């Protein structure tokens, strides 16, 4: 078997190459190979310097997470990085692709760093409930300064090569032959004084203690119960006040404690579940259909968001609306989203302009004829959607995939009238579609495998986490969300108030509570849906407990933030509990004959989680979701369930076993 680390000596340079596909993870074999290369560099007199590079599409993208649950195998990464730093001969790291976690810590142990254009560098350990454990919190501040290091380590977001060069994280971006430039840099260092590692540098001093204290406070506030960012900040603070050796020991102690923590276990569960979700072994040998041009019907919030996602991924889009005025509105919506992505730095000016150049909007369905896949994103009405699919089938070619973005409706029923229902799938995006990472791929009863494979391929092109689902009211996410929304509304009638439920959810780790979220989304859309469902089920029994409080709010013109009042009153944009809402709630309790009682935060979350688990079990039993892990992925990525708790099933200790 080929060894994952190879070496070659030429003209005084030891070239060390890591080749451990797919992402050159720092497995035990890689670490052993690098330590052997270090010993070779020390022992070989003809070696004056070392160039460290990696084969394939990336440099080292991190540690081998699969080893976390096994006893550690020497050499440990901290020992390896320290040994490289103390070789006595300069090491130059030639970086490309993604340089993350242990990969960046390895590069920090080298004496210079060059990066190819497009390289991304970061320490994302906090996203797995960890902190850097091989000296990252100690070396990085000594290289780029305390505040930039604190931001990188506690935020976990990578920086691009240009940003890395500005901060001094890398020495240069290669402009010609990367290996030739790295060898030249290595020989230049070999001709100078013996190299010193970053550990030998003095720790940076804090110029303004007030600014530093505020930065630490921001980290704690953003953590919302997650331990790792706070521990990462403490490790950086240790690196500034302790001798380097003591700071390294404290960092390692924190890393080992976090590695065994429930939060890290939960985050690793989500990490692996996200990667397993869209694998779908039944499609292993199925080739997706071409995806060169996308059609979208509907230019509202969802349609424009889907269009923006496709355009930013490099796919031309044709959008069609009912008339010219709506088409112009859709184009304006799309432009606003692209401008916002440009302003946030998600795309650069050239990508923004390319996206606009690939976009067309109009009111003629025949413009969608050349599309490889058409997504309907119109009003949530079965008759209108079914009629639209029939019209589309008459316009597009026989190989065009037709997709519905419905949130709840039965897509099998929707496609019943088509000559070829096997070309129809559901692509349920989450709003805002160009930002949210989740995509439910709804597999209809008659969908052909290559049609399903095409939907999955689109999701991957858009950078989405694709979770397969079968047809069922609300699919996975909305079915479960509806259940815990009903649980929250039942608690209002039983004795809780909106602010109490929202506070309990925030304390649990949600960014916002159920009623804050409803006010942001708008109460009128759900109200219209409830009325439509009630009209369609007239004369039928409704066995579920129905709470009328939200209806009463809408009848009073309280539609959320956009109307200035919903579950809360909004004074200068801030949510304020409103006595009028409390009166509506207590009146509802009285009509239902319920004696109100105090409901504490612990009971609130028990009832929320219980509703999620009950609905999730039903979704699994009906075959709508494939696994409990898939449900966890949906609830984390689509509905704000705290990632560091692992999703509702993981939090409840329930696995697919």
Which of 418, 450, 474 represents a domain boundary (last residue)?
Answer: 474
530 and 482 in a common domain: yes
438 and 494 in a common domain: no
Mean pLDDT of the chain: 94
354-382: per-residue pLDDT in tens? Answer: 999 999 999 999 999 999 999 999 999 99
565 and 470 in a common domain: no
Indicate if the alpha-carbon torsion angle 312, 313, 315, 321 is positive or negative: negative
Cβ contacts of 534 within 8 Å, gap of 6 or more: none
591 and 445 in a common domain: no
Q: Note the pLDDT of residue 470.
A: 97
Q: Note the pLDDT of residue 72.
A: 79
496 and 544 in a common domain: yes
State what percent of residues in the chain have pLDDT above 70. 98
475 has pLDDT over 90: yes
156 and 28 in a common domain: yes
514 and 456 in a common domain: no
Q: Note the pLDDT of residue 68.
A: 75
The C-alpha angle with vertex 101 and arms to 95 and 104, in degrees rounded to 5, equals: 35
Q: Note the pLDDT of residue 193.
A: 83
431 and 548 in a common domain: no
Q: Note the pLDDT of residue 1.
A: 61
User: Are 437 and 637 within 8 A, CB to CB?
Assistant: yes
Q: Note the pLDDT of residue 536.
A: 52
Higher pLDDT, 192 or 200: 200
Say which CATH number the domain at 142 has: 3.90.226.10
pTM for the structure as a whole? 0.91
Say which CATH number the domain at 390 has: 3.40.50.720
Query: Where does the pLDDT of residue 345 fall: very low under 50, low under 70, confident under 90, or very high at 90 and above?
Result: confident
433 and 332 in a common domain: yes
216 and 109 in a common domain: yes
235 has pLDDT over 80: yes
Q: Note the pLDDT of residue 532.
A: 65
Q: Is position 158 within any domain? A: yes
491-511: per-residue pLDDT in tens? Answer: 999 999 999 999 999 999 999
The parent domain of residue 344 ranges over: 285-474
Q: Which residues on adjacent β-strands are paired with residue 376? A: 297, 404
Q: Is position 273 within any domain? A: no
Mean pLDDT of 267-286: 94
Q: Which residues on adjacent β-strands are paired with residue 113? A: 93
Nearest Cα to Cα of residue 151 among 167, 162, 170: 167
Q: Fill in the DSSP letter of residue 634.
A: H
Number of domains in the chain: 3
Q: Note the pLDDT of residue 207.
A: 82
Query: Where does the pLDDT of residue 535 fall: very low under 50, low under 70, confident under 90, or very high at 90 and above?
Result: low
Q: Is position 547 within any domain? A: yes
411-441: per-residue pLDDT in tens? Answer: 999 999 999 999 999 999 999 999 999 999 9
Q: Note the pLDDT of residue 582.
A: 97
Query: Where does the pLDDT of residue 22 fall: very low under 50, low under 70, confident under 90, or very high at 90 and above?
Result: very high
467 and 484 in a common domain: no
Say which CATH number the domain at 577 has: 1.10.1040.50
246 and 302 in a common domain: no
């Amino acid at each position: 078997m080929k060894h994952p680390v190879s070496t070659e000596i030429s003209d005084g340079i030891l070239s060390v190459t890591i080749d451990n596909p797919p992402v050159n993870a720092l497995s035990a074999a890689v670490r052993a190979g690098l330590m052997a290369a270090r010993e070779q560099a020390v022992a070989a007199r003809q070696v004056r310097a070392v160039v460290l590079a990696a084969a394939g599409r990336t440099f080292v993208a991190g540690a081998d997470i699969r080893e976390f649950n096994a006893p550690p195998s020497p050499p440990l990464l901290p020992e390896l990085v320290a040994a490289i730093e103390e070789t006595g001969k300069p090491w130059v790291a030639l970086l490309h692709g993604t340089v993350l976690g242990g990969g960046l810590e390895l590069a920090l142990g080298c004496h210079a760093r060059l990066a190819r254009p497009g390289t991304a560098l970061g320490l994302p350990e906090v996203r797995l409930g960890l902190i850097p454990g091989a000296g990252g919190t100690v070396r990085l501040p000594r290289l780029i300064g305390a505040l930039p290091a604190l931001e990188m380590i506690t935020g976990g977001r990578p920086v691009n090569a240009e940003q890395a060069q500005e901060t001094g994280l890398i020495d240069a971006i290669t402009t010609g032959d990367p290996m030739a430039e790295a060898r030249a840099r290595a020989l230049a260092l070999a001709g100078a004084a013996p190299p010193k590692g970053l550990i030998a540098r003095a720790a940076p001093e804090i110029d303004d203690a007030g600014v530093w204290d505020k930065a630490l406070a921001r980290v704690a506030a953003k953590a919302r119960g997650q331990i790792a960012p706070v521990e990462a900040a403490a490790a950086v603070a240790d690196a500034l006040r302790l001798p380097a050796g003591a700071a390294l020991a404290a960092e390692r102690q924190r890393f080992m404690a976090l590695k065994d923590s429930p939060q890290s276990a939960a985050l690793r569960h989500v990490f692996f579940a996200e990667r397993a979700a869209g694998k779908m072994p039944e499609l292993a040998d199925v080739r997706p259909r071409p995806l060169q041009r996308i059609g979208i019907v509907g230019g509202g919030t969802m349609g424009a968001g889907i269009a923006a996602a496709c355009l930013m991924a490099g796919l031309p889009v044709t959008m069609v609306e009912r008339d010219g005025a709506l088409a112009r509105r859709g184009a304006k919506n799309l432009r606003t989203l692209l401008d916002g992505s440009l302003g946030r730095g998600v795309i650069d000016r050239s990508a923004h302009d390319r996206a606009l150049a690939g976009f067309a909007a109009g009111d003629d369905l025949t413009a969608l004829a050349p599309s490889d896949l058409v997504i309907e994103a119109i009003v949530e009405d079965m008759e209108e959607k079914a009629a639209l699919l029939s019209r589309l089938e008459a316009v597009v070619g026989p190989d065009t995939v037709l997709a519905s973005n419905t949130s709840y409706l039965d897509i099998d029923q929707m496609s019943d009238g088509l000559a070829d229902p096997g070309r129809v799938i559901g692509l349920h995006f989450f709003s805002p579609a160009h930002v949210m990472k989740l995509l439910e791929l709804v597999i209809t009863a008659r969908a052909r495998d290559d049609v399903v494979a095409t939907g999955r391929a689109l999701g991957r092109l858009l950078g989405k986490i694709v979770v397969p689902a079968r047809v069922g009211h609300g699919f996975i996410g909305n079915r479960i969300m509806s259940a815990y929304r009903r649980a929250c509304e039942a608690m209002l009638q039983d004795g809780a108030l909106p602010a109490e439920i929202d506070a309990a959810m925030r304390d649990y780790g949600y960014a916002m509570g159920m009623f804050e979220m409803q006010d942001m989304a708008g109460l009128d859309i759900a109200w219209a849906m409830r009325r439509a469902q009630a009209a369609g089920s007239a004369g039928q029994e409704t066995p579920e407990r129905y709470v009328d409080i939200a209806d009463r709010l809408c009848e009073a013109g309280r539609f959320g933030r956009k109307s200035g009042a919903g579950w809360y009153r909004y004074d200068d944009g801030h949510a304020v509990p409103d006595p009028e809402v409390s009166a509506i709630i207590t009146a509802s309790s009285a009509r239902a004959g319920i004696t109100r009682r105090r409901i504490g935060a612990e009971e609130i979350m028990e009832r929320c989680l219980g509703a999620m688990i009950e609905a999730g079990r039903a979704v699994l039993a009906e075959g709508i979701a494939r696994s409990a892990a898939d449900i966890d992925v949906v609830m984390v990525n689509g509905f704000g369930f705290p990632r560091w708790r692992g999703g509702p099933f993981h939090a409840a200790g329930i696995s697919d076993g």
